[in-house]
Structure formats: C-alpha cells, structure tokens
Chain A
Amino acid sequence: MMQINTRKQGDWMVYAISGRINGITAPQLEASLRGSIDAGELRIAADLSSVQCLGSAGLWVFLAALRQLGGGEFRLLSPTESVREVLDISGFANIMAISDSLEG
C-alpha cells in the first residue's frame, strides 16, 4: 500500500515514498520520520513523486515532522499533480516548503 525508501543526499535524509498515505499507512511513516529526527537528522525531504493519494492523515504526519524538526528543515519534493492539488486545497502549500529539487 505504501513503501518507504530512505537515502542520504548530502546533509539531507530523503524519504522516497510510494503508494498511498492514508489513515492506515500514515502511522508507519510517522514512526519512521520520528525515528530519523530522534536519531539527529536535521534536514528531511519527503519525495512525493510516486505518491498517488494523500489525505489528512498524511498531511498531519508532515506537519508533525515539521514541528519536531524545530530549527531543522522539512521539505516536500516533486509532488504528483493530484498530490499538489491536495496541498493547495488543504492550505498546506502555504505552510510547507515544496520544491522539485533539494537545491535552493
């Protein structure tokens, strides 16, 4: 339903997520992100280029990560068209850093 692959890219920890982030899968993503943050990661990016479906449960996980990172950085990478629409409709596009690459 949802798969997570993590990789280090410079000082970023990149979460490549695929599938659906919903009420069932979100807790797994949340636990994994919290683990990385607890382990001291300061810059985390969620690569959404293979995410087909995103709802409030996933958005909540992103907000939780952003808050837990405090002075660190959380970024959403390359959302698909429909996920980008959800980010706009929910107002998350106003409170999250969204970009197509880690530069800039």
Chain B
Amino acid sequence: MRVKFWGTRGSLPVAATAGEVKKKIIAALEAANGRQFTSNSEIATFADSLPFAVVGSFGGNSSCVELIGASEEHVICDIGSGARPLGHAKLAAYGPGKPQTYHFFVSHLHWDHLMGLPFFVPIYIPGNRIVMHGCHPDLEAAVRLQMSAPCFPVDFSQIGATVEFDILEPGRDYEIAGFKVRAKLQLHSGDSYGYRFEQAEKSVVYSTDSEHKLENRAEQHTFIDFFRKADLVIFDTMYSLADAITVKADWGHSSNIIAVELCQDAEVVRLAMFHHEPIHDDAKLCSLLDETRRFEEITRDGRAPLEILSAYDGLTVEL
C-alpha cells in the first residue's frame, strides 16, 4: 500500500510569500559560499543537497490524501484544494477515454476539506463514477451547496460524472475498493470522522480535525484502540499543546505532543504530522518536526521507536 499526500495544509490553502522565497535564496547562496558551477546538472545536484526547508516545501494545498492499494478504483481522503493537482494527475494518466471510479472519504464538511471538488476535473467527464463516503447525513447538501450560485459558476447538476453518496455508520466495518474501512467520531465543530483503512496486513489511519481533551482520558483510550498497531497514522498537529488547551481550546485541533503519546500507547509504526498551521513557513514546520522527534525520544521509555515524518504536498509513503 502507498499513501500519497496531495494537500497537507490546515484551514486554508497558502502560497509561499516573497519574503519566504527570498529567505530560501539567501540560504542557498550562503550554502554555495562562492562555489563555481560548470553545468546545470552540477547546480541541480548542489540544490538537491540543500536542506528540505531551503530546496523543498511543504506546499500549501488543503487536505487531500490518496491511498493506493490493490484495487484499480481510486481511494482519497478529503477533497481539499489538493484534489486539484490530483485530478490533473489522474487525467494525465487515464485520459477521458478510460472511465474511472473515485472513492472520496470525507472527514467533515468544512470548507478546507471540500473546496477541491469543483476543481477536480474528472467530475466533469462523463463515464467517471464518483462515490462520496462520509458519516454526515448532510454530506450531499453541503456538496451541492458549494457548487451552486452564487458560490460557483457550474451547478452540481451539470457535472458529467455520476455521483453517489454513501453515508457510513461509525464503528462498523465496510469493504470498499479493496479496503476494510471503519469510521470514528472525533471532537470537532459540527463533528468530524477519522477513518481506518486496512488491506493486506497494512493499516492507515486518517485522523484530522480532531481535538483531544486532556481531562477526558476515557476518550483517549478509544483513540488508542482506533490507532492500534497502525503502520501509519495521519494526525492533526496544527497547534502546540499549550495553545490547543488554552487560547485555542475548542477550536477542534490537536498537537504534536498528543500525537506522539497516542501513537506510542497504540504501538503505531509511523506518525505523519498533518493539517499544518497556515501561518507556519517551511523552516518552522521543519523545526516542529525536529522537536516532535525529540519529544518521542525523550518519552520513549524502552518502547520501540516511533518513526515521525511531517507530511508535505507530493510526499509518497510506502507501507
């Protein structure tokens, strides 16, 4: 199984600012330190040797994660703005002549998790089949609302693909596109749902826009069960713990500290930090990753190490 991240930003898509670009150029020139290059490939090799915060980027698209398993049908968590490049990639791979089936698992109906649908070009191509899975009874109404006047020029009724809505019951196991899937209710304004996917002895949990209350330890145990021994947990690490339980309490998000503790207790193999705060630049997100790894190390206490990565737009993780 492979997991490809198309959008990893929380709340709102962002682009790098001129100031951030300048910072990267300065850092690259400093690293070059007067070095002479004789070819473009030498420059490219040098660029590849630079740290991720200088040569790479977390990107700015909002939540959209693809699960690539054994089935030819496509499985995607959330339809944030990352669904736009995903749609282009699918079109390039399959063209209009080869109808495809796309399964979307929708965590919740907030803007940043749905906004990519009108820009997901496969919905305009007759023959394609879109299945929207979710636990919110008003999933269809929210999707239709976003593609109606005055919000968007093309009305939902005019798209070419066939669309089905499949309302799931949390806590029940479903077989969908070759995956065993189970949803779990999460604490978030208007409710959100996490999804656990299993296939061929591998498991992935997609758990974003989920607040964890420290005073509610019983609730934490239900998440430890949901995450149990997963090969990858994709977790909302938008805020620091201090912010998440004070000034941003009840905003519906969590922290790297809670991510690590729940994953340690659940004996998870790998944690992906996700739903990045839009205000953070690449350097800040890199330092948060370093700090999270350090916290895991400090608190490991004889357990197997938890591997930690910070998801970025374009990252593929092989399980």
Contact = CB atoms under 8 A, between A and B. Distances in A.
Given A89-B257, A90-B255, A56 B214 contact: yes
A53 B295 CA distance: 11
A35 B6 CA distance: 51
Interface in B220-278: 240-243, 245-246, 255-258, 261
B241 A92 contact: yes
Interface residues of A, number: 18
B217 A56 contact: no
A63 B298 CA distance: 21
A56 B216 CA distance: 12
B261 A56 contact: yes
Secondary structure type dominating chain B contacts: helix
Contact of A89 (B215, B243, B295): B295
Contact of A90 (B215, B217, B257, B301): B257
Contacts of A86: 295, 298-299
A57 interface: yes
Contacts of B245: 60, 63
B202 interface: no
Contact of A60 (B215, B240, B243, B295): B215
A5 interface: no
Interface string A35-64: 000000000000000000101110110010
A72 to B, nearest CB: 18
B241 A53 contact: no
A74 B100 CA distance: 61
A56 B258 contact: yes
B298 A85 contact: yes
A32 B31 CA distance: 54
Given A56-B258, A57-B214, A95-B246, A85 B294 contact: yes
Given A60-B245, A90-B240, A90-B257, A53 B217 contact: no
Contact of B246 (A56, A63, A88): A63
A94 interface: yes
Q: Which of A23, A55, A60, A89 has the largest count of B CB atoms less than 10 A from its CB? A: A89
A23 B301 CA distance: 14
A22 B224 CA distance: 16
A86 B245 CA distance: 16
A82 interface: yes
Nearest to B264: A55
B63 interface: no
Given A63-B245, A91-B240, A55 B255 contact: no
B292 interface: yes
B291 interface: yes
B246 A55 contact: no
A18 to B, nearest CB: 16
A88 B241 CA distance: 10
Interface of A: 23, 53, 55-57, 59-60, 63, 82, 85-86, 88-92, 94-95
Given A86-B295, A90-B241, 7 more contacts: A23-B217, A63-B246, A89-B256, A90-B242, A91-B241, A91-B243, A95-B242
Interface of B: 214-215, 217, 240-243, 245-246, 255-258, 261, 291-292, 294-295, 298-299, 301
15 contacts: A53-B299, A56-B214, A59-B241, A63-B245, A85-B298, A88-B291, A89-B295, A90-B242, A90-B255, A91-B240, A91-B241, A91-B242, A92-B241, A94-B242, A95-B246
